[in-house]
């Protein structure tokens, strides 16, 4: 069994699925010879050949559009967009085509593709390398948005995303690409795309999170436990379509919810979770639902990025506020 | 069958790699002061770049893109521009923007993760560094449209690399410039690599310059390591634009002597021998030979110049390092002209939390 980082688990999942399904192809900018700027595709070209793992011209709309074309004709493209900040030329292809090909052809053509992109702040990168705009994609019917926050979930969720018959935007939190290691058995077992993961059971309050914020949320829960507040921590993972059932079940027990994400708070998916609780879980609630997120500001350059995203103290303060109301 | 379209692309070089003139030189090349000024800025670009890499290695700036090898392409182009022209640079064009009057301490701030650097001195109407690829080409076309509508005798210049020529935005900008007869210059510094992708992987076209043909604008190729060829082509293209003659695409052949950025390791995808060979054709080397032969430039002058420039750069580094850290409140201040109440409330929350360095 291999002890892997999140990015290594991505690589292991790609390798497994390529070995077991010859229709899977990987391409994008610098994914071949260079193995990806974060090494997510390292070694794949050597293993599976330049026909199935290749570098493309520098054009994101092209990467996404080629994928739509290939996917409709029997391939399973797993393209990479190098950073989420450069994904916007591809947005047109995802929004106008990938997400609705099945619907507009009444199932005649489908788009089984996985668009991978690293996202989020925290690596002191230049401008446009720190966005968390998962809500853009989550707003689109017909596309799944999946965000792993541990090596085990990166492996299992990516396998399921590739096997899924519909388009998936798979966003990898690069801040925790190498933050910790886990045993990740290379057994080809996928994880469900319709389930949120309770990573820490608790009874007092439910902390709902995804992406790199799972790390601070986890740490906050640990510190709060020392104060006697027993937090349940939930990684939403597939942020669209959302697993309402697990959210509602948890909050029916705890009666309190704090949502933590890195993306700008307004129009962020925390609002969707809060809406689920307001419309379907209101009578379980003992306190207002609290959202902690990035501020409604452009993600700042490196000097201020850790002031922008929710830190452990801000999460703890939100939990206290929730517990005291 | 009748041939309905034919084209040719010219390649211009004045100085060979030893700095020897290959043809009659343009007038400016005889102007000792002007040539010395450009040579000085080429060296400044190199000295600054070297110091930037060193600051990154010691953790004093973040990831940074080196301009090593692009000194002629950047300075020759910037020198042909007028202050009232507008520049839309990619993120690698330190030399061009320094020539345009931006302080090195401000560039260091940008790469050091501080937005205040982009509120720069010098050409206040120039665009900030563009990090997304090729999108600035459209901004230059838009600026050119503004000049045209207002009747200004000015042009816009977009600077990008070979990788950018694959992006939709690049073609859209070129096409708009042709269709609307815009006073704009698209300057592609073909340094042979977009991170790991050699230019042959970007296109099956023989040249990048010929992409101009498809949209009906002028296109030419120059030796981008030859300061005189660069300046000459830039003067012709900018003058053509300012005088209503339309847009030009210039492909300047060069070589990226450094990694893509400090986060990259080019040894993974290109052989050392190739870099070594390219460094023998480096622009500074050839200009030094030219300056020696034409203007009696001496090794003593060369040493003194570099020492002087190192001191100049060091002052800027000190100014950068002495700049007080931005405050978290500042991330809210420029979102809108008038801060919405909801944002003010967020600013108050942000104030309560110290920002880890």
- B339 touches A: beta carbon within 8 Å: no
**Buried/exposed A128-164: b ≥16 CB within 10 Å, e otherwise:** bbbbbbbbbbbebebbbbbbbbbbbbbbbbbbbbbbb
Q: Which A residues, 128 through 147, put their C-beta within 8 Å of a C-beta on chain B?
A: 128-129
**Which residue(s) pair with A183 in the sheet?**
A3
Of A125, A151, A184, which one is at a domain's C-terminal end?
A184
Q: A30 and B342 in contact by Cβ < 8 A?
A: no
Residues B312, B331, single domain; the answer is: no
Residues B215, B347, single domain; the answer is: no
Contact indicator for B128, A315 with CB cutoff of 8 Å = no
Q: Note the pLDDT of residue B20.
A: 95
Contact indicator for B256, B192 with CB cutoff of 8 Å = yes
Contacts for A134-140: CB closer than 8 Å, 24+ residues apart: A134/A169, A134/A171, A134/A211, A134/A239, A134/A240, A134/A263, A134/A269, A135/A263, A135/A267, A135/A268, A135/A269, A136/A91, A137/A94, A137/A169, A137/A240, A138/A239, A138/A240, A138/A269, A138/A272, A140/A94, A140/A95, A140/A99
Residues B234, B261, single domain; the answer is: yes
List the domain range (segments joined by +) for residue A307.
Answer: 197-324
Residues A122, A52, single domain; the answer is: yes
Residues A82, A205, single domain; the answer is: no
Burial of B10 (0-12, 13-18, 19+ CB in 10 A): exposed
Whether B1 is in a domain gets the answer no
* Token pair 């507008």: residue: B86
Residue in B112, B47, B102 with CA at minimum distance from that of residue B321:
B112
ipTM, two decimals: 0.93
Rounded Cα distance, B294 and B243, in Å = 33
Mean pLDDT in chain B?
Answer: 97
Residues B69, B139, single domain; the answer is: yes
Grouping H, G, I as helix, E, B as strand and the rest as coil, residue A15 is: helix
| B65 — pLDDT class (breaks 50, 70, 90) | very high
Whether A190 is in a domain gets the answer no
**Which residue(s) pair with B8 in the sheet?**
none
* Token pair 């190199």: residue: B46
Whether A45 is in a domain gets the answer yes
Across B159-174, average pLDDT: 98
A125 vs B211: which has the higher pLDDT = B211
Q: Note the pLDDT of residue A1.
A: 64
Q: Which B residues, 203 through 242, put their C-beta within 8 Å of a C-beta on chain A?
A: 203
Residues A231, A267, single domain; the answer is: yes
- The secondary structure of B292-317 as a DSSP string is HHHH---HHHHHHHHHHHHHHHHHHH
- A89 touches B: beta carbon within 8 Å: yes
Q: Note the pLDDT of residue A242.
A: 97
Q: A304 and B355 in contact by Cβ < 8 A?
A: yes
Of A134, A153, A184, which one is at a domain's C-terminal end?
A184
Q: Note the pLDDT of residue A23.
A: 98
CA distances from A28 to A66, A78, B31, B134 (A): 10, 9, 48, 17
As a whole-number percent, the residues of chain B with pLDDT over 70 amount to 100
Alpha helices, DSSP H, located in A54-202: 60-72, 88-93, 101-104, 134-138, 151-163
CA distances from A263 to A299, A313, B86, B329 (A): 9, 18, 34, 18
Whether B38 is in a domain gets the answer yes
Nearest CA in chain B to A55: B197
Whether B4 is in a domain gets the answer no
Residues A226, A169, single domain; the answer is: no
Residue in B13, B65, B15 with CA at minimum distance from that of residue B39:
B15
* Token pair 């890195």: residue: A262
Rounded Cα distance, B173 and B185, in Å = 11
Nearest CA in chain B to A88: B132
What's the CATH code of the domain at A205? 3.40.50.920
Residues A246, A158, single domain; the answer is: no
Q: Which positions in chain B touch A88 (Cβ < 8 Å)?
A: 132
Rounded Cα distance, A290 and B95, in Å = 49
* Token pair 């993306």: residue: A263
Residues B319, B345, single domain; the answer is: no
Number of domains present in the structure of chain B: 2
Q: B114 and A303 in contact by Cβ < 8 A?
A: yes
CA distances from B182 to B143, B156, B235 (A): 9, 9, 17
Residues A21, A158, single domain; the answer is: yes
pLDDT in tens, B212-271: 999 999 999 999 999 999 999 999 999 999 999 999 999 999 999 999 999 999 999 999
Residues B241, B335, single domain; the answer is: no
Residues A165, A259, single domain; the answer is: no
Residues B135, B246, single domain; the answer is: yes
* List of chain A residues with pLDDT < 50: none
Q: Which positions in chain A touch B320 (Cβ < 8 Å)?
A: none
Residues B261, B332, single domain; the answer is: no
Whether B252 is in a domain gets the answer yes
Q: Which positions in chain A touch B356 (Cβ < 8 Å)?
A: 306, 311
Whether B105 is in a domain gets the answer yes
Residues B162, B284, single domain; the answer is: yes
| B102 — pLDDT class (breaks 50, 70, 90) | very high
* Token pair 């990573």: residue: A199
Residues A152, A301, single domain; the answer is: no
List the domain range (segments joined by +) for residue B349.
Answer: 327-357
Grouping H, G, I as helix, E, B as strand and the rest as coil, residue A28 is: strand
Take residue A24 and report the two structure tokens written for it. Answer: 């899977």
- B196 touches A: beta carbon within 8 Å: yes
Of A184, A209, A225, which one is at a domain's C-terminal end?
A184
Rounded Cα distance, A1 and A303, in Å = 39
Q: Which residues of A are catalytic?
A: 129
Residue in A94, A107, A106, A108 with CA at minimum distance from that of residue A141:
A94
Whether B6 is in a domain gets the answer no
Take residue A308 and report the two structure tokens written for it. Answer: 């922008």
Across B173-182, average pLDDT: 98
What's the CATH code of the domain at B218? 3.40.50.970
* Token pair 């290939």: residue: A70
Whether B147 is in a domain gets the answer yes
Q: B328 and A298 in contact by Cβ < 8 A?
A: no
Across B1-11, average pLDDT: 96
Q: B132 and A86 in contact by Cβ < 8 A?
A: yes
The region, left, alpha or beta by phi > 0 then psi within -120 to 50, assigned to residue A262 is alpha
Grouping H, G, I as helix, E, B as strand and the rest as coil, residue A232 is: strand
Q: Which residues of B are catalytic?
A: 256, 260, 269
As a whole-number percent, the residues of chain B with pLDDT over 90 amount to 99
Residues B282, B354, single domain; the answer is: no
Residues A174, A218, single domain; the answer is: no
Whether A192 is in a domain gets the answer no
E-assigned strand segments in A213-279:
231-235, 238-240, 257-264
Q: Note the pLDDT of residue A200.
A: 98
Residues A176, A203, single domain; the answer is: no
∠ CA B9-B15-B21, rounded to 5°: 115
- A304 touches B: beta carbon within 8 Å: yes
Across B263-285, average pLDDT: 96
Whether A191 is in a domain gets the answer no
Whether A132 is in a domain gets the answer yes
Residues B334, B267, single domain; the answer is: no
Q: Note the pLDDT of residue B356.
A: 86
Whether A32 is in a domain gets the answer yes
Half-sphere exposure of A118 (CA within 13 A, CB side): 26
Residues A46, A174, single domain; the answer is: yes
Whether B151 is in a domain gets the answer yes
Q: B132 and A85 in contact by Cβ < 8 A?
A: yes
Contact indicator for B85, B127 with CB cutoff of 8 Å = no
Number of domains present in the structure of chain A: 2
Q: A58 and B269 in contact by Cβ < 8 A?
A: no
Report the residue from B167, B335, B349 with minimal CB separation from A58.
B167
What's the CATH code of the domain at A44? 3.40.50.970
Residues B347, B247, single domain; the answer is: no
Given a cut of 90, whether residue B357 has pLDDT beyond it is: no
Given a cut of 80, whether residue B26 has pLDDT beyond it is: yes
Neighbours of B304 (CB within 10 A): 11
Rounded Cα distance, B157 and B144, in Å = 9
- A306 touches B: beta carbon within 8 Å: yes
Whether A15 is in a domain gets the answer yes
Residues A25, A71, single domain; the answer is: yes
Across B296-310, average pLDDT: 98
Rounded Cα distance, B226 and B14, in Å = 7
Rounded Cα distance, A293 and A279, in Å = 22
- B284 touches A: beta carbon within 8 Å: no
């Amino acid at each position: 069994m291999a002890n892997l980082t999140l990015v290594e688990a991505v690589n292991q999942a790609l390798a497994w699925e390529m070995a077991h399904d010859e229709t899977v192809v990987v391409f994008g900018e610098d994914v071949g010879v260079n193995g990806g700027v974060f090494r997510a595709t390292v070694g794949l070209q050597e293993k599976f050949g330049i026909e199935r793992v290749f570098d493309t011209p520098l054009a994101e709309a092209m990467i996404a559009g080629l994928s739509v074309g290939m996917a409709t004709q029997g391939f399973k493209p797993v393209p990479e967009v190098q950073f989420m900040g450069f994904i916007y030329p591809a947005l047109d292809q995802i929004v106008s085509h990938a997400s609705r090909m099945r619907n507009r052809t009444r199932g005649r053509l489908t788009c089984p593709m996985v668009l991978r992109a690293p996202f989020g702040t925290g690596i002191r990168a230049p401008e446009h390398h720190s966005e968390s705009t998962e809500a853009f994609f989550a707003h689109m019917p017909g596309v799944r948005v999946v965000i792993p926050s541990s090596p085990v979930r990166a492996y299992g969720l990516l396998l399921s995303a590739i096997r899924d018959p519909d388009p998936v935007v798979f966003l990898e939190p690069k801040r925790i690409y190498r933050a910790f290691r886990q045993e990740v058995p290379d057994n080809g077992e996928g994880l469900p795309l319709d389930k949120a993961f309770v990573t820490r059971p608790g009874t007092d309050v439910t902390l709902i999170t995804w992406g790199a914020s799972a790390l601070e949320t986890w740490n906050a829960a640990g510190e709060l436990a020392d104060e006697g507040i027993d937090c349940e921590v939930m990684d939403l993972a597939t942020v669209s379509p959302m697993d309402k059932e697990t959210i509602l079940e948890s909050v029916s027990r705890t009666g309190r919810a704090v949502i933590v994400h890195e993306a700008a708070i307004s129009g962020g998916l925390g609002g969707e979770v809060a809406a689920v609780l307001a419309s379907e879980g209101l009578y379980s609630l003992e306190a207002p639902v609290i959202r902690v997120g990035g501020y409604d500001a452009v993600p700042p350059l490196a000097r201020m990025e850790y002031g922008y995203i929710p830190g452990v103290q801000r999460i703890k303060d939100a939990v206290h506020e929730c517990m005291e109301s | 069958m009748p041939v309905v379209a034919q084209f040719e692309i010219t390649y211009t070089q004045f100085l060979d790699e030893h700095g020897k003139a290959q043809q009659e030189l343009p007038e400016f090349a005889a102007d000792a002061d002007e040539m010395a000024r450009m040579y000085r800025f080429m060296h400044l670009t190199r000295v600054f770049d070297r110091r930037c890499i060193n600051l990154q290695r010691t953790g004093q700036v973040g990831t940074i893109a080196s301009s090593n090898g692009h000194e002629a392409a950047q300075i020759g182009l910037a020198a042909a521009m007028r202050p009232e022209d507008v520049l839309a640079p990619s993120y690698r064009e330190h030399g061009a923007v320094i020539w345009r009057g931006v302080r090195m301490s401000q560039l260091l701030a940008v790469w050091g993760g501080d937005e205040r650097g982009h509120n720069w001195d010098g050409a206040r109407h120039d665009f900030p560094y563009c990090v997304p690829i090729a999108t600035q080409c459209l901004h230059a076309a838009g600026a050119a449209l503004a000049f045209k509508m207002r009747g200004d005798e000015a042009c816009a210049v977009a600077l990008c690399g070979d990788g950018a020529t694959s992006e939709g935005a690049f073609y859209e900008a070129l096409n708009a410039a042709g269709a609307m007869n815009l006073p704009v210059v698209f300057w592609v510094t073909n340094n042979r690599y977009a991170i790991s992708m050699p230019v042959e992987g970007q296109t099956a076209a023989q040249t990048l310059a010929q992409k101009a043909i498809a949209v009906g604008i002028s296109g030419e190729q120059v030796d981008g390591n030859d300061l005189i060829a660069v300046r000459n082509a830039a003067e012709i293209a900018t003058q053509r634009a300012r005088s209503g003659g339309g847009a030009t695409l210039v492909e300047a052949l060069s070589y990226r002597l450094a990694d893509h950025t400090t986060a990259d390791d080019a040894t993974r995808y290109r052989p050392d021998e190739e870099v070594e060979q390219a460094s023998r054709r480096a622009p500074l080397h050839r200009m030094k030979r030219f300056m020696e032969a034409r203007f009696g430039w001496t090794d003593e002058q060369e040493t003194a110049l570099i020492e002087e420039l190192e001191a100049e750069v060091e002052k800027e580094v000190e100014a950068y390092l002495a700049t007080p850290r931005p405050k978290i409140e500042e991330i809210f201040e420029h979102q809108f002209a008038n801060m919405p109440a909801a944002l003010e409330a967020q600013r108050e929350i942000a104030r309560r939390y110290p920002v880890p360095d």
